[in-house]
Amino acid sequence: MTTSRQHQEAHGIGQIEEQLEQQIQAATEIQGKSKLDQEIKAAANEHSSELDEIIEK
């Protein structure tokens, strides 16, 4: 069972994450996406990995 304090901490973390996402969006609108950011996002969204190749064998 979660305590009130744990609930408040979880809520606070959620608020921080939301605020950071808003800051990222604002910075992107102002500065545009950097090539590195685009490459990182593309790499994070790749579906194949070395583990996938091992599993397929």
Residue-wise pLDDT for 21-51, tens only, equals: 999 889 888 888 788 888 887 887 777 667 6
∠ Cα 24 27 30 (to 5°)? 150
Residue 28, number of CB atoms within 10 A of its CB: 12
Helix (H, G, I), strand (E, B) or coil at 27: helix
pLDDT of residue 49: 65
Comparing 31 with 56, the larger pLDDT belongs to 31
